[in-house]
């Protein structure tokens, strides 16, 4: 499966987002947690102010979940169609795209999608 340079860049950016998003989500969770601790000692208002980060991140979270599912499907199709890759690497990274996508997808991307020619050790004819 051959991809043009703009498509490879777009796939790389989307893969980077899926890889970095858990850190952003954890940071928002910490902000909410400390917001609860600070507001917990002050008089209660009718609107829970500590929930503002949640309302901001929720649509992004939903879109990221759908993006991750779409990227998993893309990577699985690419793994299946990539006959020049080593079978062992294809199996490990294909399964990894579902179990640990934020680890396996960037590895597969930098091995087989970004370069014009994959490294010799990652090809199926390598000793």
Write the pLDDT tens digit of every residue in 12-44: 999 999 999 999 999 988 888 877 776 665 556
End-to-end alpha carbon distance in the chain: 24
- Name residue, tokens 């990227």: 71
Which residues share a beta bridge with 123? 85
0.75 surpassed by pTM? yes
In this prediction, residue 33 carries a pLDDT of 81
In this prediction, residue 56 carries a pLDDT of 86
Domain extents for the chain? 5-42+50-115
């Amino acid at each position: 499966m051959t991809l043009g340079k703009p498509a490879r860049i777009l796939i790389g950016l989307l893969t980077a987002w899926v890889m970095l998003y858990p850190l952003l989500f954890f940071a928002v969770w910490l902000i909410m947690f400390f917001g609860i601790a600070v507001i917990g000692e002050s008089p209660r208002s009718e609107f829970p102010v500590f929930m503002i980060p949640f309302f901001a991140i929720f649509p992004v979270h939903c879109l990221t979940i759908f993006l991750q599912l779409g990227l998993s499907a893309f990577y699985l199709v690419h793994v299946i169609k990539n006959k020049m890759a080593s079978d062992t690497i294809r199996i490990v990274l294909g399964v990894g795209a579902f179990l640990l996508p934020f680890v396996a997808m960037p590895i597969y991307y930098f091995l087989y999608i970004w370069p014009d020619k994959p490294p010799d050790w990652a090809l199926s004819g390598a000793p």
